[in-house]
Structure 1
């Protein structure tokens, strides 16, 4: 190749994609920032990620263009940033661009003064516009320096004002159920009663919203919340947003029917959806939800797992230069792969001879529930499931021969830990030991490659990156450890969760407001230090830390941790009530804190069978502890096995009911505080 720039030494796949641009790219760091100061040049920070479609387009059109690159190199210090490796930089400058009134997105191109203060930014620019912007900003920087500096200073002051300062208000004083009902009504006003989800396009799945609605149903017994959530999950699983052949979910649907996705597959979406579908399956025993889980895990192991056990970050939407080409089918493709069965399978997946999408392509989607399709075709369930399984296998085999979408093989700590949590939730609901084994394998990879004492590192590709972990890396790691403990009662996992919780308190907590900074106290110094409050594509890291404090406070009898959690949630309770769409994970923690949670202790030689049976139920307001014999855990140490039987203690705020010896008796005690029946008694 003609050009090679500094990015050739990067670990990020996204930065490596730009290593042969004629642009004189730097990674973010002292070398680039010092050069900007020494030469008094403005900085161009271009932020994107490996599976970003428009990032690729802008690279092809502008960053590979020799003349455009010459202008960039002459007038700016150019820095490339992988938003997934450096979310701290992305958060900061996305906030700045939005403060300028620009709708955010990627690629994100931001212009800074030599002191790193932003003064202009935007997203994708076509080549003529980009060239004009470069020329104009260079001229403005030379001729109107004071105006540029004034704008930059105003933005800096905006960035310094934290979201905590802007949004924290006096706590909500209303009764729990009334507050929760108010949240539900705000969400329900936007429900799409036909296709599920919210009434808008494009449609994002937003797993945290539906997880909260399941808990709201458990709190109140209200059926409409449950029915809309189940409708949503079924419609998503039937749509093109779900890979009907290979499992796994795409980023979002461009329409309101979950039909045509933006085809990139992100690890973090699928991790959250494993947890969501596991919870829905535990509540309903709907076999379709079980299929989604098993097929998604199949995709995860087949396409997203490194030989060493780490999970890769993403698959591109594009292959062979076209979005979605890997996943779509002509009718002739189906005929060639399936022979005589093609018409029936095509009917099942709503495929048309002329295509059901653009350019004669078919996106495989299901318009009818299975029971209606079987009735329409006069088929038995067993015969159809056998034929469908064979057809999926053939189509998957045929698809594997195509050029694959680009793989972002960067392994990110937070997203891997989130996937461990999803696999552990799936293990509890389905009982398959393979799911637990995959979760443990991944945790061992993180421990071997990305943890060093109390220091967590952000990412790995062939080697560990130098970027230190952010709050979400620590928060999801703690969650993964505590979920592994509750699914196994191996106290090693619990000790690790407590160790990293203490580390997070030391490295990230602002004691003035009980909130956590996104970057560590000794991390890279940017022009402002942010605290992540709102849910984004993944839940707020502060909300997850509130939950970690609450759960580990119960598991380890740490009242100080529970009080910190309560203070965090209380400070945002009014914002939770006003903005449930953007505070859904907070809303879940709010219910846990305000309602209280059961502390369930299992003791005795047969506890494993009891644990598995009990945890197959949907019990979102309970934490679990257990030991075959002795344990040093505060809430376990004073309890005993009675008459040699496996003994279950159901406690609330450390006050226990009479011990019981069977799962039905334990469930009866747990359900005494909830108005709905167990999943074994629910009928849908």
Structure 2
């Protein structure tokens, strides 16, 4: 029977696993709430805002060293109103204070620790801080606020002005669309950072950046730029060969700490794996490389096994840390192997696995621990051992099954079991993409189950969304990323299912965003809706990062909606958004890669592939095997109110129309003819 905790604070009432981890700290933590700020203002106390997430290694370290310490808690409780925030639950607040930290220090990261005025305006920030330094700096800041308040207020005011200025997007000098020549120049400049041998960028750590790879594959395919295409596939292969990919259980870790993708930061995030499943599905459609197909299948198996809730949604992440053989919490303990352990488990198959996954100096991590990594093809390994590639595949598969069973007996990494609407939408889209390109019906079924769950859990009666769900509760209003990504998922489901309800639902979310998130003056969408109480500023998210910016997703959604609903203003708004971002995109393409799909839609013919009649799904099934980045599928068997399908459905014929902006060529009656017209 466990002992009663010595301390319990108000976080005990929260659902976020990260916040609950701090519920028994001696620090008197509060969750983010406008009422908490009111308390601080009433008591004229500074805010100490600490932001992290459940899978964050250094967040755990700082909690153990500082927030579990009674001496530290005494200083924090005596001088501050202490707020603990899960950045994944409150990306709106995280955006503001991360911008503040970067303005103050030139860098960012988590844990993100901010000291702010009672009204939330920041004036000091840092990431991980050791105990003695933490106590010292907090005492100094509290004394400064008491003794020289004017100085603190002036600095906070200047910083707040700077935070608001970040929202200001420069007015473009040109008002015409981004040309292909301008895109070519931007990609050429960007390419100087490409690591063409190992993939990714020429630096460590290496992040996978599927947003960038998705655009570059699109660009290389349309332009025929072989160097760019080769770079994309080099990166995809190296990542799939690397230790950043879990060769035993599937799925990717968050990033690699080295240049060869070998040693990961072992946390596994839903949003990474969702986007990479989409990316590898598209790459498989473009190349039919069996490596890409295997990565998709194994990664989906990982998500189904370890991140899928019984209700049908998807959990957020797995921790990097787990207990090692000595009962010590250590990063990567669940995933790494000793040579001795592998020899004992695999017996006569050990030499083959040792060559395949580099149980040698190339694969050694630290001490006697190995992170599995490939650097040779199946053909090279099979030749070395005098066997066929088929025999090699069978023996490696057998080895992996043995290692998987052994690994299952180890203490598991911690699970962040909250469900986020935006990340779930990314996973639904991933499953739709995998179903489309790998032709696996069960992936579509899983996507539909997850969508049905989301609609029960987070869709409100007024058409709005909630951001989070756990334990039957949805406590936070939806942000633009939730609406944009769910719209994208709905449109992906429409393209695969040809059920008009998905298009209508996407349109409904778009209309809700135009009513509650759209800045008519600036021409972009705010991250928070007009019903939310604002602290410091109402943010605009425009830069694409490890996930696409909510505004770039919205712009592409509106473009696609304009093809299905041309009578609306969706196309016009999308075009204005792109023009607003013109200079930012061309000056910094690597931070606006998702935006850059839109100029490609305009520089090359964008086709609406309209398939009608009783065999519409069968015809579509054939065409979806191909990588068609400048195409959108629409279809119907009997009837539809969508303008693309009106008067084009014949009872006894299945026809394929290739259209541009609603104007269609004469129909063809077979997929082969359509493929020929698409110039594949």
TM-fit CA distance, 1:268: 0.4
- The alpha-carbon deviation at position 570 of structure 1 amounts to 1.4
User: CA separation of 1:249/1:168 partners in 2, compared to 1, >3 Å: closer, same or farther?
Assistant: farther
* Aligned residue number for residue 130 of structure 2: 126
Identify the match of residue 658 of structure 1 among 648, 666, 669: 666
Counterparts of 2:240 and 2:363, CA distance in 1: 21
SS in structure 2 at match of 1:269: helix
Is contact 1:318-1:405 (8 Å) kept?
A: yes
Separation of aligned partners in 1, 2:454 and 2:174: 38
Cα displacement (A) at 1:115 = 1.7
Q: 1:519 to 1:596 in 2, by over 3 A?
A: farther
Matched residue, 1:630: 639
Confirm or deny that 1:56 pairs with 2:56. Answer: no
Residues 599 and 624 of structure 1 are in contact (CA less than 8 Å); yes or no, is this contact kept in structure 2?
yes
Is 1:462 the equivalent of 2:471? yes
Equivalent position of 2:616 in the other structure: 607
Q: Secondary structure at the match of 2:99?
A: helix
d(CA) in 1 for partners of 2:271 and 2:423? 5
SS in 1 for 2:97: helix
> Does the 8 Å CA contact 1:555/1:623 hold for their aligned counterparts?
no
214-223 vs 272-281, greater mean Cα deviation: 214-223
2 CA distance for matches of 1:173 and 1:447? Answer: 40
How big is the alpha-carbon RMSD for the aligned residues of Structure 1 and Structure 2?
Answer: 1.4
Shift of 1:218: 2.2
Per the TM alignment, residue 98 of structure 1 is displaced from its structure 2 partner at its CA by: 1.2
Cα offsets for 1:614-662 (capped at 9, x unmatched): 01100011111111122111110121338x3310000112221111011
State the number of aligned residues.
Answer: 670
Q: Is 2:98 the partner of 1:90?
A: no
Question: Quick check: 2:656–2:669 contact (8 Å CA) kept in 1?
Answer: yes
Asked if the contact 1:275–1:425 (Cα under 8 Å) also holds between the matched residues in 2, the reply is: yes
Q: 1:223 aligns with which of 209, 226, 236?
A: 226
Residue 171 of structure 1 deviates from its aligned partner by 3.6
Residue of structure 1 equivalent to 2:398: 390
Please list, as runs of the form range in 1=range in 2, the aligned pairs for 1:191-206 lying within 5 A after superposition: 191-206=194-209
Match of 1:501 among 499, 510, 515: 510
Aligned counterpart for 2:342 among listed residues 334, 337, 356 = 334
* CA shift digits 1:204-233 (9 cap, x unpaired): 111111111111122211211111111110
CA contact (8 A) 1:241 1:252 kept: yes
Tell me what 2:211 maps to: 208
- Partner secondary structure for residue 211 of structure 1: helix
Instruction: Return the alpha-carbon distance in structure 1 between the equivalents of residues 473 and 174 of structure 2.
Output: 43
How do residues 584-595 of structure 1 correspond to structure 2 at under 5 angstroms? 584-595=593-604
Question: Alignment partner of 1:635: what SS?
Answer: coil
Partner of 1:617: 626
- Say whether the 8 Å CA contact 1:168–1:575 is kept in structure 2: no
Closer, same or farther: CA 150–297 of 1 in aligned 2, 3 Å: same
Residues 474 and 504, structure 1, Cα contact 8 Å, conserved in 2 = yes
Taking the TM superposition and a 5 Å limit, the aligned residue runs for 1:176-575 are 176-320=179-323, 321-352=329-360, 356-453=364-461, 454-558=463-567, 560-575=569-584
CA distance in 1, matches of 2:472, 2:64: 28
Kept in 2: contact 1:172–1:574 (CA 8 A): no
Whether contact under 8 Å (1:457, 1:464) holds in the other structure is no
Change in 2 beyond 3 A, CA 1:572/1:306: same
Gaps of 5+ in 2: 324-328
Q: Is the partner of 2:233 in helix, strand or coil?
A: helix
Counterpart Cα distance in 1 of 2:570 and 2:606 = 15
Q: Are 2:177 and 2:599, in contact at CA under 8 Å, matched by a contact in 1?
A: no
* Misfit runs of 4+, over 4 Å: 172-175
Deviations 1:312-348 (A, max 9, x none): 0000111121111100000122123222212211221
Write out aligned runs for 1:83-162 (5 A).
83-162=87-166
Q: Is this contact kept in 1: 2:585–2:596, CA < 8 A?
A: yes
1:602, distance to aligned residue in structure 2 (A): 0.5
State TM-score, norm by structure 2. 0.97
Q: Would the alpha carbon gap of residues 31 and 574 (structure 1) be closer, same or farther in structure 2, given more than 3 Å must change?
A: closer
Matched, 1:78 2:82: yes
In structure 2, C-alpha distance between the alignment counterparts of 1:83 and 1:356, rounded to whole Å: 34
Distance (Å, rounded) in 2 between the aligned partners of 1:174 and 1:304: 42
Q: Offset at 1:501?
A: 1.0
Q: Deviations over 1:358-416 (max 9, x none)?
A: 02100001011222222222221211111121211111111011001110001000000
1:193 aligned counterpart, secondary structure: coil
Mapped contact 1:573–1:590 kept (Cα < 8 A):
no
- Name the CA shift for 1:596/1:129 in 2 (closer, same or farther; >3 Å): farther
Cα 1:172–1:582 shift into 2, 3 Å: farther
Whether the aligned pair in 2 keeps the contact of 1:44 and 1:78 (CA below 8 Å) is yes
Q: Secondary structure of 2:12's match? A: helix
> Are the counterparts in 2 of residues 11 and 463 from structure 1 also a CA contact under 8 Å?
no
Between 1:11-20 and 1:383-392, the stretch displaced more is: 383-392
Q: CA shift at 1:173, angstroms?
A: 4.7
Q: 1:629 to 1:346 in 2, by over 3 A?
A: same
Match of 1:681 in 2: none
2:469–2:475 Cα contact (<8 Å) kept: no
Alpha carbons of structure 1 residues 665 and 559: separation in structure 2 relative to 1, 3 Å: farther
What is the SS of the residue equivalent to 2:54? coil
Alignment check: 8 A CA contact 2:67 2:73 kept: yes
Q: Is the 8 A contact 1:553 1:559 kept in 2?
A: yes
